Amino acid sequence: MANLVSTWSKITQTLPENYIFPVHQRPGSTHVPLCKNIPIIDLSKSQTQTVQQIGHACQEFGFFQVINHGVSEALIDDTMKVVQDFFNLPDDEKEKLFSIDPTNRRQFPTKSCKLFTSGSDYANEDVHYWRDNLRHPCHPLDEWAHSWPEKPAEYRDIVGKYSLEVRALSLRLLELIREGLGLKPGYFGEELTRGQLMSINHYPRCPDPTLTLGLRKHVDPNLITLLSQGSVYGLQVFKDGQWLGVEPMPHAFVVNIGFQLQIISNGKLKSAEHRAVTNSREDRTTIVSFINPCPDTVIEPAKSTLDTSIPLFKPFIYKDFLKTYEQNKGDIEAMMEVYKIKP
Ligand SMILES: O=C(O)CCC(=O)C(=O)O
Ligand SMILES: [Fe+2]
């Protein structure tokens, strides 16, 4: 039996019922306005200017795009091509890597490189997402690259180079954010940024994009996310009660503030809710790099962000938070309820 939506959807013209979202979650029209206001940060400008612009973007939107970031366009193109080639491999090649146990529909716990469909807990989902996902850790590279897909033959080499460059860019952006928040140098050193997970989303052409989603509304659980969305539209951000489309800029990175930065900044920086919609014309593939704290890291509002000396959130351990995140399906209000200090 075919497991991946990219495999079985080739032969169906209708959307199966278990992909139809409840009315209030459906995208309806997927043509929401492309938001021209999502900030575009030019990293070739002066540091003073970028610190200020990034600070503003993180407070206002929790999202921005970066250009002139130093990652070569050729590397971005090669990486997009190799991950698309992965999803274009013969179906039986991909199905061999499928990481869900067929007996209980749960992830094999010991596999570090995972290929699955929909979300991380398929067995307990009411509705499935119209996406397949390949994900693997990537830092330090020599510890993980041997567990990545063997095909296409260039996958490990290209994705390895890309993950190093994207990690370096993520740390550079965190340094600018750190400066804007007035945190001490080295604040985002080792513990908070040791993890890096590469997550490749593949949303095949969909028979009815108005009824389903590639990913439901969520905030990212980690510290900071860098997304390469190629040239196909599908990412939407929820701002002031409405959905806004994020314009595809093929060589820019979409940067997204994770929930941990919202806590560390004592709510100054915003972790914005977003989702992925599908389309009926072409497949969409996106490359996401998540920078994550170590599992045992204590996360709390940084002392120097406390203008009024009043922390708004309780401290927690990152690995415990991940359970809360799963239980609340990435819903920011529900998670705030758990961690907010009540007056
Ligand atoms: O594919 C996209 O446009 C969004 C991906 C995303 O939000 C995620 O992987 O957390
Ligand atoms: Fe996300």
In terms of pLDDT, which residue wins out, 306 or 40? 40
pLDDT at residue 22 tops 70: yes
Backbone angles phi, psi at 106, to 5 degrees: -110, 160
Looking at the CA of residue 220, tell me the nearest atom of ligand 1.
10
Looking at the CA of residue 288, tell me the nearest atom of ligand 1.
9
pTM of the model: 0.96
**CB-CB contact of 165 with 75 (8 Å):** yes
CB of 201 closer than 6 A to ligand 1?
A: yes
Buried/exposed 219-236: b ≥16 CB within 10 Å, e otherwise: bbbbbbbbbbbbebbbbb
Q: Supply the ipTM of this predicted assembly.
A: 0.99
Give the model's pLDDT for residue 107.
81
CA 211 to chain centre: 22
Residue that is written with structure tokens 């604040």 in the block: 187
Res. 303 pLDDT band, cuts 50 70 90? confident
pLDDT at residue 1 tops 60: no
Residue 182, Ramachandran bin (φ over 0: left; ψ between -120 and 50: alpha; else beta) = left
- Tell me if the domain spanning 22-95+108-339 has CATH number 3.30.70.120: no
In terms of pLDDT, which residue wins out, 328 or 16? 16
Ligand that comes closest to the CA of residue 229: 1
Residue 198 Cα to ligand 2 midpoint, Å, equals: 12
Residue 108 Cα to ligand 2 midpoint, Å, equals: 23
**Average pLDDT of 162-191?**
96
